[in-house]
């Protein structure tokens, strides 16, 4: 009986094929929008997580002041090299400490020039910041102590100054002095904040301080924690040590911050997840519109087929059989819209993920949930028209013109 009812429903849908297609359009668009937005949101979350991981997973960043962004030091004093040495000597769980001084500079190779960021640091920087070399070497201790004019460049700087040539061993001009390129960094791509991580030139700290910044101040320093050690414990030790060295009273407020890359990752991923859920909820409103469209068309169908319903009831069809027939029609329409929406969403997600440069992550759960939800819409919005059809008086229905 159920199979016959299903065939009758399909026959009724095929009888008004164009109307059926237009009826399912609202469900198709709603399902496609929800799946596409959730899929792209998951891809964006994965992209942010990967970009944070490229910075170093067990990394702490210590900066002066309490505010983030430009001018965020709040007039707090910068760090000194003695602070770096104290961290290295007094915190046992630290595997590397890298002071960082940034300076925007123009670099020149023959007729080509490029504005980039010069990073002054030590050899620990490459380990702490999770950099690996594509070719060449990093600077050695003697070059660090002497402040030699040597540098390691990122892929973006290489592309603008050397094209696809190997830059190792070449001389470039940094501001007003020549610098030997001793290494090339492997590409990391875009960072979570949108900046190009490969647009960088790394030099010994003393070289940058003497020749570019003209100051012994250190803008920030990065700390890597040994594998298996507690990040929270090291963080507490850093706070205690820096408060002592900066002579902050017991009741005084910190004039520095210790940022954890794990917390940065959690904050950014939670933000993208919230935005994904919000956009998905907005897109789901179109499903409500699609459901109303199905109800409207089913009511029209009941009105058009009043005489047919009367004949069926008169020759012995039960009310439940009529109810089931119209309910199945509504469910088939909405489920068909759900399937078409999933196919449309798959194509849109793949294309947009490539365009946005985020990974495409197929989520079977959201696709299955969307299909079930589309069928449920058919049940909810198809029940009232089906109930109306089943409750028709056979005599009145037969008289209907």
Q: Which of 336, 326, 340, 327 is nearest to 380 (CA)?
A: 327
DSSP states along 209-271 = IIIII-S--B-EEEEEEPTTS-HHHHHHHHHHHHHHHTT--TTSPPSEEEEEHHHHHHHHHHH
| Structural domain ending residue among the three candidates 254, 286, 309 | 254
Structurally, the chain folds into a number of domains equal to: 2
pLDDT higher than threshold 80 for residue 339: yes
User: Does residue 166 sit in the same domain as residue 25?
Assistant: no
Residue 35 pLDDT: 85
Using alpha carbons, select from 196, 107, 96, 214 the residue that is nearest to residue 151: 107
Percent of the chain at pLDDT > 70 equals 82
66 domain residue, yes or no: no
Say if residue 226 is in the same domain as residue 316.
no
In this structure, is residue 165 part of a structural domain?
yes
> Residue 156: pLDDT band by 50, 70, 90 thresholds?
very high
Q: Is residue 81 within 8 Å of 112, Cβ to Cβ?
A: no
139 and 270 in a single domain? The answer is no
The confidence score (pLDDT) of residue 103 equals: 92
201 and 336 part of one domain:
no
What number is the average pLDDT over the span 117-134?
A: 90
pLDDT digits (tens, 9 = 90+) for 297-306: 777 776 666 6
Identify whether residues 202 and 288 lie together within a single domain: no
Provide the pairing of β-strand 59-64 with 112-121: unpaired
* Same-domain status, 94 and 195: yes
60 falls within a domain: no
Q: Are residues 338 and 243 in the same domain?
A: no
Domain end point (choices 220, 254, 288) = 254
Q: In 297-333, which positions are buried (b, 16+ CB within 10 angstroms) versus exposed (e)?
A: bbeebbeebbeebbebbeeeeeeebbbbbbbbbbbbb
Residue 62 lies in a domain: no
Give the whole-angstrom CA distance, residue 111 versus residue 272. 43
With bands split at pLDDT 50, 70 and 90, how would you rate the model's confidence at 99?
very high
Average pLDDT, the chain: 81
Q: Is 226 inside any structural domain?
A: yes
Domain shared by 244 and 275, yes or no: no
In-domain check, residue 68:
no
- pLDDT confidence band for 318 (50 / 70 / 90): low
Query: Which residue segment(s) compose the domain that 369 sits in?
Result: 2-52+266-399
Question: pLDDT tens digits, residue range 360-393?
Answer: 888 888 888 888 878 887 777 777 777 776 676 6
| Shared domain check, 376 and 289 | yes
Whole-number Cα distances in Å, 293 to 36, 223, 300: 22, 59, 11
Does 242 map to a domain? yes
178 inside domain: yes
221/281 same-domain check: no
DSSP classification of residue 110: T
Domain boundary pick from 254, 286, 316: 254
Asked if residue 135 and residue 44 are part of one domain, the reply reads no
**All residues at 6 or more sequence positions from 209 whose CB lies less than 8 Å from its CB, including other chains:** 101, 120, 147, 215, 216
Indicate whether 70 pLDDT > 50: no
Average pLDDT over residues 143-153: 92
Q: What is the pLDDT of residues 109-120, one digit of tens each?
A: 988 999 999 999
pLDDT of residue 309: 66
pLDDT of 34 reads 83
Instruction: Supply angle C-alpha 209, 211, 215, rounded to 5.
Output: 35
Asked whether residue 135 falls in the same domain as residue 215, the answer is yes
Q: At what angle do helices 17-55 and 319-356 cross, to 10 degrees?
A: 40
State what percent of residues in the chain have pLDDT above 90: 21
């Amino acid at each position: 009986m159920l199979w016959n009812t299903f065939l009758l429903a399909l026959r009724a849908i095929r009888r008004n094929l164009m109307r059926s297609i237009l009826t399912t359009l609202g469900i198709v668009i709603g399902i496609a929008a929800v799946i596409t937005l959730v899929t792209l949101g998951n891809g964006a979350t994965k992209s942010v997580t990967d970009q944070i991981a490229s910075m170093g997973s067990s990394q702490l960043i210590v900066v002066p002041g309490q505010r983030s962004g430009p001018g965020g030091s709040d007039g707090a004093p910068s760090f000194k090299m003695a602070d770096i040495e104290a961290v290295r000597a007094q915190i046992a769980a630290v595997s590397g400490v890298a002071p960082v001084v940034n300076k925007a500079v123009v670099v020149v190779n023959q007729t080509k020039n490029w504005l980039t960021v010069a990073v002054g640091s030590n050899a620990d920087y490459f380990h702490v910041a999770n950099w690996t070399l594509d070719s060449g070497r990093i600077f050695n201790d003697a070059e660090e102590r002497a402040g030699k004019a040597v540098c390691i460049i990122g892929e973006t700087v290489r592309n603008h100054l050397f094209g696809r040539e190997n830059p190792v061993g070449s001389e470039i001009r940094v501001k007003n002095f020549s610098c030997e390129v001793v290494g090339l960094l492997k590409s990391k791509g875009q960072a979570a904040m949108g900046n190009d991580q490969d647009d960088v030139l790394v030099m010994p700290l003393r070289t940058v301080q003497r020749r570019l910044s003209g100051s012994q101040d250190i803008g920030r320093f990065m700390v890597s924690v040994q594998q298996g050690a507690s990040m929270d414990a090291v963080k507490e030790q850093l706070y205690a040590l820096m408060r002592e060295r900066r002579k902050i009273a017991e009741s005084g407020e910190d004039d520095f911050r210790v940022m954890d890359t794990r917390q940065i990752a959690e904050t950014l991923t939670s933000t993208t997840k919230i935005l994904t859920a919000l956009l998905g909820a907005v897109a789901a409103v179109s499903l409500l519109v699609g459901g109303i469209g199905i109800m409207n068309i089913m009511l029209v169908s009941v009105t058009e087929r009043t005489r047919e319903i009367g004949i069926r009831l008169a020759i012995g069809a039960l009310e439940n059989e009529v109810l089931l027939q119209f309910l199945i029609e509504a469910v088939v329409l909405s489920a068909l819209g759900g399937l078409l929406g999933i196919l449309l969403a798959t194509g849109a997600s793949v294309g947009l993920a490539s365009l946005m440069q985020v990974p495409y992550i197929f989520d079977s759960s959201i696709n299955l949930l969307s299909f079930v939800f589309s069928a449920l819409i058919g049940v909810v919005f198809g029940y009232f028209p089906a109930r109306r059809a089943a409750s028709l008086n056979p005599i009145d229905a037969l008289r209907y013109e």
